[in-house]
Structure 1
Amino acid sequence: MSLQKRDKKHLWHPLKQHQLNPDSLAIVKAKGCILTDEDGNEYIDAIASWYTCMYGHCNEYIVEATYKQMQQLDQVMFSDFTHEPVIKLSEELIKILPQNQNKIYFNDNGSTAVEAGIKMALQYYFNNGEKRSLFIAFENGFHGDTFGAMSVSGLSVYNDPFEDFLIDVKRIPTPNGSNTKTLLEQLKLLVSHHNIAGFIYEPLIQGAAGMKTHDAKGLNTILNFFKQHNILTIADEVMTGFGKTGKNFASDYLETKPDIMCLSKALTAGLLPMAITSCTQEIYDAFLSNDVAKGFFHCHTYSANPVACATAIAGIELLTSTKIQDSIKWIEQSHSKFNTEIKNHPKVETTRHLGVIFAIDLNVKMARYGDLRDKLLKFFMDRGVFLRPLGNTIYIQVPYVISKAELQKVYQTIQDALHFI
């Protein structure tokens, strides 16, 4: 019996209505940018498997570092112990994180990284004798599926059944270069009527919203406003982190740095689950006390797993290498050239790109999970390219190791799809 048929007996896949979309393609092998299914068909992974495998699948350098650590120390609880891989990883992260980041807290995934960031912000004020409960977030943002992360997310398709159980959030539009003054007026009104605990944002690019970009200067102005009003800022760099925007982090484009950062996905190169919530020394110091209850009582069983830490160290070593940095630059240059070729196509409404991320909004109405979107996904897969449209947005986020021929095939497949729609 095929893997695809065996899958149906017990498995429940995420983001899927099984009555409408019953089949899941069985992948048996992955190497570099290529996924291979059980029938031997190959697909270019043009979204790096949800932005994780940025150095390619089964990267030999990362696999070797992981295997070596597995033979030395596999798992030890982080609440009572420490180990060399986690210490080294913290040292390597601090080298590339914005300079105000000084403490590293470990989680399991992007949602839990955000969850910890939200709880840090709330308890920071609580420990300082203040009660603050309201968060501010961008419209259409996405920060994860746990309850705090859902609360600050703005995509109703994920959250509608749970709205009555979420924390209080006020949403504002993203800065677009012309609305900064209006946004500041809105924020002044919110500050005058609420005790605000924090502002959470995806810096420069909203991933799940369709790779929507916003104005760096306007965002910086907003961040300055929150700093002036003693409101903590939380940068969700789960998607944008580790080179995807052309810099190590999207926050590197901004003068005002976040108080808290959330990291995952490419952190461990798609090999193992792990996430990090980093923060400033000031936030950490608010949890220091002779009162045990003022500590941060939030823990995950696999926090700072030694094997995952070794994997992340190898990933950072690759990220900072000349070879990968050069690859990021040529992919960005290729995107720019492709943009000039496609932006005036009659089926294209808008285009945008930053780093290795490229997005096209089609001037065709499509449901986020609907028939036309599914037909477009099948069109790509039938031609050996894995692209996963977000509504009417087609986006690329290729691994840094993609070849020129592979990238050109991705571009050509998108161009072909414009005639299909």
Structure 2
Amino acid sequence: MFLIFKRSRYITKAGDSEAIKTKAASNIISLTGRIFSRNGQFPASSGGHEACPTGEILPLPKLRIFSFSELKAATRNFRSDTLLGEGGFGKVYKGWLSDKAMIMDGSGPEIAVKRLNAESLQGLQEWQSEINFLGGFCHANLVKLLGYCWEDKELLLIYEFMQKGSLDSHLFGNGSSLLPLPWELRLKILIGAARGLAYLHASDKKVIYRDFKTSNILLDGSYNAKISDFGLAKIGPTASKSHVTTRVYGTEGYAAPEYVATGHLYVKSDVYGFGVVMLEMLTGLRVLDPNRPDGQQNLIEWVTPYLSDRRKLKNIMDSHLGGKYPSRYSLEIAQLALVCLENEPKDRPSMQEVAETLERIDSVNHRHGEALVDSEYPTASQDQKILQYRSPLHPRQNVNIAYPLPLPTTFS
């Protein structure tokens, strides 16, 4: 057996293909214990013990059921100039609602529409996982799922539109006209993302996000961070257990070592991924890059010796910051990243502790007057046009390489 990783997206193993096609052809599907009927209604669950052996099923979400014709009109028949990006699920389009009731509800006239690629092996599972998890949550740092559509072979998801696109596009966008993120915004984004993960971990089901990375952190018009893409989310362990055991899916470089090695997924496996993102924010470099010199291709292995010394840290800080960052507090964040990347899950802090630490750093930073903001950085209104067609869900990626890794054992 093999574990398949993608640098920018995960893919399912080939053996899943026939099962997914069979489920897609049925009139009623059940992937995680919740039953969906083809007419888009939510009948009572039959228990779902085979799909969810613990019986832990999230409450049914209150989502709007969109018709396919509505979404065709909203996206101008999925016209190419409304295309925002493409991922493993399919293509993502920008749309405009004409429904005044929806707009008055605070959702805004702009939406993002994910449309399933008929050839996608993972799409059906991701579609329902998004509804199961994201549809049942409401938090300022989680992207809002507005509704879904299921008509014939068409499976779609409808989200709030995120004006500033993904964190990935800001940090690593090739040929982008975007200016580098200043220190203040980087810290703000980290705090928001940490709050989002902390909320998931503190929920009744202790939801493990499982695929935390820069491309899944989206930014609204004020650069508030929101976590998106719950296709890999997993209900966490019960009180009597420390972890859940599952097949290993994720993105290489971000997945925690204990998860990759054993299939044991801990709540603190997400903390490891957050530590990776913190390093990327500090350095402006991707966690893995085969184009870097030998010894520098794996960011974690390369920069770890620099994270505990202020003078050494300067050598790896993102040059795009132009030295405009408080060295004292950047060192604290580097040290926080270091403890998030501990090999043993028990040695990592909780996401609540991470969020509180970042908030304290931000508070002290402002109190001491050390906030450093580039006055030339555009405001939300000034650079809105630049990001108009940045993907809010799946930013375009130039690298799309799959990595087969040996699976040490069989996971359920």
TM-score exceeds 0.5: no
Structure that is richer in helix per residue: 1
TM-score band (shorter)?
Answer: under 0.3
TM-score (norm 1): 0.24
